[in-house]
Structure 1
């Protein structure tokens, strides 16, 4: 079952050359100090409106652990951590799920949430794309070349046609691109 408008968006922040982290896992480079005068200003109001549109987040356990280290940005919005490990959280909004990804998404989440964001991890991104579970990709490019590290699209193994839905350039030089995934 699926709510009539439910969708899953894969969201990632990447360097221009396609890396989501340095080799050591560091993401300290994910802030831009560029100045693009024609860009959109990332105001508190803009960010707040955007965040209110998300019904839940889906992530892998490594992304969850990294997020706990860096600071929890998700407030009380439900977060579903996909893991086979026995993890704990002191946050009431965090739920740990294990099992087949298609069953978790199709049987447990799509019937309850309309705007779901998958927020991290190369392995999880690859599985969502391979299984055809994602409806769109929202990627924010930081104006930095890392040279190596962890790839965002770690060799998916199949061609997936995309359709550009939107592009936003921000004053800090970041560019957000939203692509719909053409399902065959």
Structure 2
């Protein structure tokens, strides 16, 4: 878990997602229970303590997500604590938490005028269409792709062919004891 590259002011937008080996981020019914399945142990992998994970999560200043990811997070018991969260949606929502705000509009305005003046470390955590749109608009500074040791065969793809060809620079690779692998890429030129 290394720090982000970001821009000259140290700000960054990180696209963080977990994918199956065959490139799916959810099953067709949007379920992600496959993330919790038992797997083999990769002896050469690293493990991270709960304290280390908690300290890392505290470095994230703001999360951005779509409405389905928001619904899923509520079902999970809200893993984001009191960290500010922006839900990009056109749907009307009752306020569920003080730390959550809803946004519907231009994504460049959201990032450049609303988020970057307030936050340094912004994490985009889903869904697929929102992540693809951020990539299309050039709003992502780094991609943190966690690959789970499972083949799903079908489901919802993170990259469905709508993203243009673009080179990214590999910054780090970490293999974990649970068989997951994390790839960290930064936008070329950054």
- Relative to the length of structure 1, the TM-score reads 0.95
Quote how far apart the aligned CAs of 1:9 are.
0.2
User: Who is 1:148 aligned against?
Assistant: 154
User: Who is 2:124 aligned against?
Assistant: 118
Once the two structures are superposed, residues 5-61 of structure 1 have per-residue CA deviations (whole angstroms, 9 ceiling, x without a partner) of: 110000001101100011121111012532011111131022112101100100011
Q: Alignment length, in residue pairs?
A: 183
> Quick check: 1:138–1:179 contact (8 Å CA) kept in 2?
yes
User: Who is 2:82 aligned against?
Assistant: 76
Counterparts of 1:16-27 in structure 2, within 5 Å, are 16-27=21-32
User: Who is 1:51 aligned against?
Assistant: 57
Is 1:176 the counterpart of 2:179? The answer is no
> Quick check: 1:132–1:183 contact (8 Å CA) kept in 2?
no
User: Who is 2:4 aligned against?
Assistant: none
Task: Find the aligned partners of 2:135 and 2:169 in 1 and give their Cα distance.
Answer: 15
Task: Find the aligned partners of 2:43 and 2:165 in 1 and give their Cα distance.
Answer: 36
Quote how far apart the aligned CAs of 1:155 are.
1.5
**Structure 2: 5+ residue stretches without partners:** 1-6
**Structure 1: 5+ residue stretches without partners:** none
Quote how far apart the aligned CAs of 1:90 are.
2.5
- Relative to the length of structure 2, the TM-score reads 0.92
User: Who is 1:88 aligned against?
Assistant: 94
RMSD value, Cα: 1.5
Task: Find the aligned partners of 1:149 and 1:160 in 2 and give their Cα distance.
Answer: 24
Task: Find the aligned partners of 2:98 and 2:163 in 1 and give their Cα distance.
Answer: 37
